[in-house]
A and B are shown apart, each in its own frame.
Chain A
Amino acid sequence: MTKSKLTISLFAGLVALTACSSHQSKTASLPPAPTTKAPAPTSNGNADVGAVRDTVVPGSHADFLRQVGTDMVHFALNSHDLDSEAKAILDREIQWFKKYPSTRVTIEGHCDERGTREYNIALGEKRADAVRDYLAKAGVANSINVISYGKERPLAMGSDEESWAQNRRAVTVTPN
């Protein structure tokens, strides 16, 4: 029991790593940027993942990440428009939600630090709303809650274009 939990969290960690790296490049399909760390295995087609696959509980957040590939979409500066890359991710989310329509969902809206505090709360709300509306229009029946954190919860810590691009995001949160 302890072992399988450990494996799941390890796996989730791997997926999160891969997901993070893929956001740093323009398109999700590009390989992760090279790092000084040992190369991480990709999330599919790999012997390690094959051993883990059985332990992922269908409908769990780990399952969501495996099926969708990421739990976040990104936005242009001062924008809440969903671009084609974001829509492609959300289309995969839609497929997953249709399998698990009773799962409760929260969409978090976030901004980079280059807006004032209150404006960013409103902008983060718009980003989360854009995701919710896209899902709802596609017939997703799940209960969807939205919350904006404005610029208060950055993912990347720097004050540079790279970090700002990562922080302009909406995150789909499903229960573990």
Chain B
Amino acid sequence: MSSVIRKWALTALMAVSSTALFAQNPAASGQAANQGDNRRILRVDITGGISQPMPIAVPVMPTPSSVETLAGTTAVLGRQVASVISNDLKSSGLFTPSQQASLHNVSFPEVTAPQYSYWLSSGAQALVQGFVQANGDGTLTVGCYLYDVFASQEMLHKGFVVKPADWRRAAHKCADAVYTRLTGEGPYFDSRIVYISETGPKNHRLKRLAIMDQDGANHRFLTNGQSMVLTPRFAPNQQTVTYLSYVGNSPRIYVYTLGSGHVRLVVNKLNTTFAPRFSPDGKTIVFSMSVAGNTDIYKVPVSGGQATRLTTSPGIDTAPSFSPDGSKIVFESDRSGSQQIYSMNADGSNQNRISFGSGRYATPVWSPRGDLIAFTKLGGGFHVGVMKTDGSGEQILTNGWQDEGPSWSPNGRVIAFFRTARNSGHTELWSVDLTGVNERHIPTPLDGSDPSWGPLLP
């Protein structure tokens, strides 16, 4: 028994999917064999053939003594932190957390000495315990421990020191540590999304820039809706957002500074500029500009200055997206007669079409891992899909009426997009993972479109 490597094989309900997609990732069994000597290693295997989320328990986190903080008592926070962790893990589709209320109350000393026999009988394979402690200086420490229930051994322990107001971030960081330890995938829960909040009738929608945590918490509006705004994109350092605004009835791209609310015009011309995206180093914005009836892709230093033209086709060239190393740009062009995806060097040289399937392709977005390009496919509705960077290996992941505007999670395993309802025009934010199986609604106070998933928070 102890030499068995347990795998939790989770993907691949979609027959074509994961083997090729995840070939670049270390296979669970390989790593396990390296570390494993004669022990079993608890591991979620995302390369396998069955879809079976791992049962995991995240009981309420105790506190050594309940202390009032600016975010509530440490006893209440212990319950909330466990709920956030549980919700994060569940949202990945790779775990089935037990109902919190059904679990036994963990005492503070028990955090480092789990009652393995109880957890074994509860059906949990993995156990996340922790504590919330008020420090004398006004900060909190959130302890985070992961245990392999069958092997009766600790898999990780971490502590996060945060201001009380940032307690959710400590919970996300704990969930990220657990997720990464059990799946081998990079973390993504401690991250934010900027998007367009929408409300009102279809022919006169009020559109506002808004920001929230990836799970919908800490929601905040950034603009008041007086001017229509569209297509926000996070800067890599997350200090700024670039977006399209119709302020003054002149659609042009701006940079919004989070915190101060300062707004700056990027290209000081009267031409329509749109579809802005940052380069990975945050120094350049690539965008589209319409000049005399022709739309081409340009780039400009974020600090301002002269725009450089990168494409010259007479068609519509738009929706540019940098590769994570900054050397290439994918974009869409209708130069062939219909919207298709092209790749070029960052200086505009070597432009090559990469999409050759049936239908039209739009909004290519390079994965942060560098291996895949997400896109919107048009033809019998809009669907979000992924292809390799040479255009091969196409997979369609969603099948709403209109699913549009993909944006990658920081670890390149989940894609946020927006779904428009037929006739009513209502929009919602959704996410889907690379298996196409785990599709989830991202809650927003009003309708939502154009999600841009930011990088992992520091």
Chain A residues with CB under 8 Å of chain B are 78, 106, 113-119, 121-123, 125-126, 129-130, 133, 147-148, 152-155, 157-159
Contacts and interface: CB of A to CB of B under 8 A. Distances in A.
A152 B334 CA distance: 21
Nearest to B272: A125
B422 A159 contact: yes
B280 interface: no
A1 B318 CA distance: 51
Interface in B303-347: 316, 318-319, 332, 334, 338-339
B319 A116 contact: yes
Contact of B231 (A113, A117, A148): A117
B374 to A, nearest CB: 13
How would you classify the secondary structure of chain B's contact residues: helix, strand, loop or mixed?
strand
Contacts of B338: 78
Interface stretch (B5-13, B172-180, B200-208): B200-208
Contacts of B207: 152
A125 B339 contact: no
A122 B295 contact: yes
B207 to A, nearest CB: 8
Given A116-B362, A147-B250, 9 more contacts: A116-B382, A118-B274, A118-B275, A119-B319, A119-B362, A122-B290, A148-B272, A148-B290, A154-B425
A126 B316 contact: yes
Nearest to B275: A118
Question: Which 8 interchain pairs have the tightest Cβ spacing?
Answer: A129-B293, A116-B362, A122-B295, A122-B316, A159-B422, A118-B275, A125-B290, A159-B423
B319 A118 contact: yes
B275 A153 contact: no
Contact of A157 (B382, B405, B423): B423
B274 A121 contact: yes
B423 A125 contact: no
Interface string B14-40: 000000000000000000000000000
A114 B378 CA distance: 8
Contact of A119 (B203, B228, B339): B339
Contacts of B405: 116-117
Nearest to B287: A118
A116 B362 CA distance: 7
A155 B316 contact: no
Contacts of A122: 274, 288, 290, 295, 316, 318
Contacts of A116: 319, 339, 362-363, 376, 378, 382, 404-405
Contacts of B204: 153
A116 B420 CA distance: 11
A126 B317 CA distance: 12
Interface in B420-444: 420, 422-423, 425
A119 B272 contact: no
B101 interface: no
Contact of B292 (A129, A155, A157): A129
B102 interface: no
Contacts of B293: 125-126, 129-130, 133
Nearest to B201: A157
A78 B207 CA distance: 25
6 contacts: A118-B318, A121-B230, A122-B290, A129-B293, A157-B203, A159-B423
B251 A147 contact: yes
B446 to A, nearest CB: 16
Contacts of B279: none
B295 A125 contact: yes
Interface string B181-205: 0000000000000000000011111
Nearest to B205: A152
A117 B404 contact: yes
B404 A158 contact: no
B231 A118 contact: yes
B407 to A, nearest CB: 13
A114 B420 CA distance: 11
A123 B338 CA distance: 12
A122 B274 CA distance: 9
Contacts of A153: 203-204
Contacts of A121: 230, 244, 251, 272, 274-275, 318
A126 B319 CA distance: 17
Question: Which of the listed residues A114, A116, A147 has the most CB atoms from chain B within 10 Å of its own CB?
Answer: A116
A138 B423 CA distance: 39
Contacts of A129: 290, 292-293
Contact of A155 (B201, B203, B231, B420): B203
A165 to B, nearest CB: 16
B249 A119 contact: no
A103 B282 CA distance: 44
B339 A158 contact: no
Given A116-B405, A118-B274, A157 B202 contact: yes
B203 A154 contact: yes
Nearest to B339: A119
A152 B295 contact: no
B450 interface: yes
Nearest to B363: A116
B316 A119 contact: yes
Contacts of A123: 316
A123 B362 CA distance: 14
B389 interface: no
A158 B230 contact: no
Interface string B381-421: 01000000000000000000110110000000000000010
Question: Which of the listed residues A78, A114, A122 has the most CB atoms from chain B within 10 Å of its own CB?
Answer: A122
Given A122-B318, A147-B250, A148-B251, A154 B295 contact: no
